Amino acid sequence: MWDVWLSMLWLPAVTVADELKIFDALNVRPASAEQLAADLGLNPRAVSIVLPLLAALGFLVVREGTYGVSETSRNFLLHEGPFYWGHVFAVRPRQQPMHLALKNALLKRDANPVPQSSDRPPVEAWESGQLDVERARFIAAFMHSHSMPAAVGVALHGKMGALSRLLDVGGGSGCFSIALAKVHPHLRCTVMDLPAMCEVAQGYISKAGMSDRVDTRSVDMFRQRWPEGYDGILMSNIFHDWSFETCAQLAARAFDVLPPGGRICVHELLLNDDGVSPVTAAAFSVLMLLGTRGQQFTYAQLRKMLEQAGFSEISVTSTYGYYSLVQGVKR
């Protein structure tokens, strides 16, 4: 399901790279993402997220952070090449909304571009601290659909059985708290989110029959102090919404309120150590480019963030599909 859903980004990544002559530039001079952005006047963050997807798809090769064109691109994606496919792309693909959105992100001068439209991306709600109930219902339904299977994976394989009280930061519909409480009868969970989302989550919790062990707490994670009294903090699909600097702040907030021996649990769809594969994680990172301030991470990147916040004994566990749970302990 994840492969099919995120394949919607494959063609736009190629057509936009073709239109902006990324393949031509890298054929002349292989470059890092930062160098290419400077050469073509593109947004550095956007370039650093799009190039890994092109490499994962086989259109670029990367060695020690330097990107060059693959044989496929050399044959079919150079404007002066004998088998150039760009005229096919010009008929319909360049008119599609996803192509236009990705092109806009690459051309933006903002450090962290987020599309401006009447349909505000969810990240803006958390950034502003303003979320109405109608919008919360829509976001919760979307997230519950794609996260419930992963939530069961965390509950079954995440090695979280030693925890007794869990704070589910940005917990949305409460699907992770619900799944964890069902698998671990001794565990009590609190979904921490904005007031409107907590109201919506109560419905999911009640429907699941877990109101006795899963509750909610209305807290703005950026503007209010997080509650204490929890030996575990879960952040699932939270870090990928934000910049490295903001993620570092979130990790520090978690460290601040956890007791000695407390555990942070960061659940994300990880990129491999190469920062490029698998293709679905690379595509998900491009989706984050189009709607958030963040991207997908490697385990090494998350480990560094947690260590800098003060956590130790960092570990990673594969939980479900492409997802993994990265944990650290406060000593």
Q: Kindly report the length of the chain.
A: 331
Q: What does the alpha-carbon distance between residue 308 and residue 95 come to, in Å, rounded to a whole number?
A: 44
Residues 103 and 212 in one domain: no
Q: With bands split at pLDDT 50, 70 and 90, how would you rate the model's confidence at 116?
A: very low
Work out whether the CA dihedral 137, 116, 130, 246 comes out positive or negative: positive
Q: End of a domain among 63, 92, 107? A: 107
Residue 217, in any domain of the structure:
yes
Catalytic residues: 240
Q: Is the pLDDT of residue 117 over 60?
A: no
- Quote the pLDDT of residue 120: 63
Same domain? 101 vs 182: no
Domain assignment of residue 119, yes or no:
no
Beta bridge partners of 216: 191
Q: Provide the CATH number for the domain around residue 60.
A: 1.10.10.10
91-102 confidence digits (pLDDT tens): 899 999 999 999
The model's confidence at residue 124, banded by pLDDT at 50, 70 and 90, is confident
Residue range of the domain that includes 263: 131-329
Residue 118 above 50 pLDDT?
no
Looking at 120-129, 156-165, 271-280, which range is the least confident one? Answer: 120-129
Residue 219 banded pLDDT, cuts 50, 70, 90:
very high
Statement: residue 328 has pLDDT above 80: yes
Residues 88, 254: Cα–Cα separation, whole Å:
50
Instruction: Report residue 127's pLDDT band, with 50, 70 and 90 as the boundaries.
Output: confident
Tell me the mean pLDDT in the region 36-47.
97
* 240 and 281 both lie in a single domain: yes
Average pLDDT, integer, range 17-30: 98
Alpha-carbon gap, residue 55 to 114, rounded angstroms: 24
The total number of structural domains in the chain stands at 2
Q: Is 119's pLDDT higher than 70? A: no
Give me the pLDDT at residue 109, please: 65
Task: Compare 122 and 151 and report the one with higher pLDDT.
Answer: 151
Q: Where are the alpha helices (DSSP H) in 20-132?
A: 22-28, 33-40, 44-56, 71-76, 86-89, 97-107, 122-128
279: CATH: 3.40.50.150
CB 309 within 8 A of CB 320: no
Task: Write out pLDDT tens, residues 66-76.
Answer: 999 999 999 99
Round the average pLDDT of the chain to a whole number and report it.
Answer: 94
Among residues 312, 215, 301, 214, the alpha carbon closest in space to that of 255 is found at 312
Residue 230 has pLDDT above 60, yes or no: yes
Stretch 48-60: mean pLDDT, rounded? Answer: 98
Share of the chain above pLDDT 70, in %: 96
Q: Would the pTM of this model clear 0.85, i.e. be above it?
A: yes
In a domain, 319, yes or no: yes
Q: Do 265 and 199 share a structural domain? A: yes
Cβ atoms of 171 and 201 closer than 8 Å: yes
Classify 186 as helix, strand or coil: coil
> Do 317 and 195 belong to one domain?
yes
How many alpha carbons lie under 13 Å from residue 191 in its C-beta half-sphere? Answer: 31
Question: How far is it, in rounded angstroms, from Cα 122 to Cα 13?
Answer: 23
φ, ψ of residue 108 in degrees (nearest 5): -70, 145
End-of-domain residue from the set 92, 107, 122: 107
